[in-house]
Structure 1
Amino acid sequence: MTTGGAEGDDEEQGNASTIPKPDLPPELMDIFKSLAENSNIVFKSQQIDDPEIPFEEKQGIAREAFEKNRENFLIRFGSHLNARQLSSFQDLAVKEPIKPDENLEEMCLLLEDFRRKLSTHSVCVKNRRYHAMQQLLEKGEYFSEHEMMQRAPDLYQELVGQYLTEAEKKARDSYDVRNTSFSGILMHTLEKKQRDELLEETQQEKEEQVEVSREQLSLADFEVPVACRKQWGGFEDDEPIACSTSRNAAARVSPNITKISTPVFYNPGERDLLRHEFLSLMKERFLGGEDKDFDYTAVDDNTLLDDLKQIEQDEEDAYFEDSDDEEELREQPAEDKEASSEDELDIYMRHLSNHHSLQH
């Protein structure tokens, strides 16, 4: 009888463990998923040789921690959430009913602190990337024409490559074989071949797009204004018209205009502006974290790239600003202080009474 009872209890426990958990809002499920994908989070203690915790188990640990205690969940995982996830957590989780060991006010303070740290970290990362870019510009190699062409060959061809003369292309692709190894020469040859193939495909696509644009403009009987037929970088009235093969320029080409593809006809001022635009776009890509082969963690987490003088100045300004506010408050008449306090209290109480957690 005892054995049968034990088996019955085991069977009931097994059935209970298979009961599906209630559905949670998709925003919270996305938070659990994001946490499980974060390799920097330690979900449970493990030995060095222990296998990696399965993805589903990590999600389960995060969800279990949330369902057990929302405040402890926020303390444990809040620093790994982004601004959108913090907002979702506040809207969906910081509300009644609460458990005896949970505190809504403390959760609100935690959320505010995490948001402030996110904002501060974002500013630090931007500043560090900017200073790293200045260092790379000074060294010259990373933002050299050859290296930028390797990172963005299609953009380079669009703004720079298609306007080069044959002599300029030859000088660009020249390689000093006397001061390098055989493997270096082989790598240079392979890179040039891959780049030339990609540029050729890009050029063919552009020519096809130009042809389509010409046909569309011909059907529409479009006429280019006289002012627009001049080269925008030119200064002479009788200067030949240069028609770019770029997608944007192709839509403006009149079918009656003869395309001059020889690069020597392009105005030097125009070419310099396009080259400057290419460099500006490559800088934006770097600052935006879009250079796939660059190790941004070596920059984003590098405190040596912080502008210490600027940080010290900001802290000093904040200190004197607080001091000025305190001085004004001390000099303020007692009646004004009381009125100001009452106004701030009224505002606080109004917002508090309208908070969604207190609505029935």
Structure 2
Amino acid sequence: MEESSVSSGLKEESNNEVDPIVDIIDYLVRCANVFFKNASVNNPEVRNNDKIQYACEFYKQSPTKFLLQFGKYLCANHLQYFEKQHLDNKSYQKCLAELKLYHSNESRNKRVRNRRYKAMQKLQEDTDYFTEKQMMYRNPLLYDQLIGQYLTDDEIRERDAVGPENLTLLSMILDTVERNEMRQTKYEQMLNEDGGSSEDTVEDSSGGISPQSNSKRNGACKEKQWGSFDVPDTEVPHVPDKRKPTMINANERNLLREEFIHEMYTSFIEGRDINFDYNSVDNDEEYDDLQQISQDAEDKYFDSEENDARTLEEHMTLIEEYGRKKSVESSDSNTDPLDVYMQHISYKL
């Protein structure tokens, strides 16, 4: 069945224009990948044209139910079309008002940050994304300022040691590539921070690249910031002496390490990790915090003048779903120290 025949009932006669709902449904099918119809194991996958036909018929039969089922998958600008429809339908208008709130910038920003926070916890549990080594690769300059410059040679060797499980040619090649990328990243960060150029850089003691001091050209030294390291006024030799870490006490080291970790968590939540695919998190309902959604539904019910049954049923469904999820999570009694720390700082995010 051709798409033109599927949506023919929604075409406007004047000026041979197509009703915008056709484009909206097309977006839902092709871009939002909304699941419209159940496909059994023995039947072939439902074609896009069949999905479009189903959605068009569903919208004509019940615009309100259409919005209830598919409204959260729409784009914010799609709501402008629905605002002009069914002005005398109170249920429709109430549903539309809730969707406008759902698609508001404030609501979306909150939803995105919550999903990224849940994704961050999952990455802590299942991957090495938030290990010290991987965070060092992503922001080497900040790492060196807050942690690296205070490490002893033994601590650096322990940090960079390759475990027995990684003693393969491929893993060693990948580790070398990551370190080269880290040096390039650090070099670019230093140029951006100091406003220097490639002519003003020399190799540092760790094999990276450091900018020379601009004090001679500017006639004065920049004020040293907390956590930064001194850059000598004289040219650094290409074959430096043995590295001498700056000595600070254990409490200061812990504070600087916590500052680095907090900054890397914040960078992830604010979307500043340039090599991470945020679309895979921001648009995935699996990362929704069911406990928070349940609390919002409860607040909505008790604040509502109507206290309608549908709102209460929605709240109870969320509580039941959250309870099932917590029962699965409780089977693992191990507590990650990073989770404890994140619980402490989450109220600041």
Question: Structure 2 length as normaliser, TM-score?
Answer: 0.50
The aligned residue for residue 224 of structure 2 is: 231
Equivalent-residue separation in structure 2 for 1:59 and 1:258 (angstroms):
71
Say whether the 8 Å CA contact 1:159–1:275 is kept in structure 2: no
Please state which structure has a larger fraction of its residues in helix: 1
Alignment map for 1:1-360 (pairs within 5 Å): 22-24=17-19, 29=23, 32-42=26-36, 44-55=37-48, 58-59=51-52, 62=55, 66=59, 70-81=63-74, 84-85=76-77, 88-89=78-79, 91-95=80-84, 103-115=88-100, 130=117, 143-149=130-136, 153-155=137-139, 157-161=140-144, 163-164=148-149, 167=153, 168-177=155-164, 180=165, 184-186=166-168, 188-203=171-186, 205=188, 210-211=196-197, 223=218, 225=220, 228=222, 230-233=223-226, 241-242=230-231, 257-258=233-234, 264=244, 275-287=257-269, 291-292=276-277, 300-301=287-288, 303=290, 306=291, 311=295
The Cα of 1:110 is off from its aligned counterpart by: 1.1
Distance 1:132 1:95, change over 3 A: closer
Tell me how many residue pairs correspond in the alignment: 262
Equivalent-residue separation in structure 2 for 1:273 and 1:280 (angstroms):
10
Distance 1:122 1:185, change over 3 A: same
Say whether the 8 Å CA contact 1:233–1:267 is kept in structure 2: no
Equivalent-residue separation in structure 2 for 1:45 and 1:174 (angstroms):
51
Equivalent-residue separation in structure 2 for 1:315 and 1:69 (angstroms):
27
Q: Is the partner of 1:160 in helix, strand or coil?
A: helix
Equivalent-residue separation in structure 2 for 1:203 and 1:142 (angstroms):
19
What 5-or-longer segments of structure 1 have no aligned partner?
Answer: 1-12, 216-220, 244-256, 324-360
Distance 1:161 1:169, change over 3 A: farther
Say whether the 8 Å CA contact 1:129–1:299 is kept in structure 2: no
Distance 1:275 1:294, change over 3 A: farther
Identity %: 20
The Cα of 1:107 is off from its aligned counterpart by: 1.7
1 or 2 for the larger relative contact order (CA 8 Å, sep ≥6)? Answer: 1
Distance 1:268 1:159, change over 3 A: farther
The Cα of 1:307 is off from its aligned counterpart by: 6.8
Say whether the 8 Å CA contact 2:113–2:269 is kept in structure 1: yes
Q: Is the partner of 2:225 in helix, strand or coil?
A: coil
Distance 1:31 1:159, change over 3 A: farther
RMSD: 5.6
Equivalent-residue separation in structure 2 for 1:147 and 1:130 (angstroms):
18
Distance 1:268 1:56, change over 3 A: farther
Question: Structure 1 length as normaliser, TM-score?
Answer: 0.49
Equivalent-residue separation in structure 1 for 2:31 and 2:177 (angstroms):
35
The Cα of 1:284 is off from its aligned counterpart by: 2.3
- CA shift digits 1:158-203 (9 cap, x unpaired): 21258547824322111343xx4xxx42264243122123224435
Say whether the 8 Å CA contact 2:118–2:287 is kept in structure 1: no
Distance 1:146 1:265, change over 3 A: closer
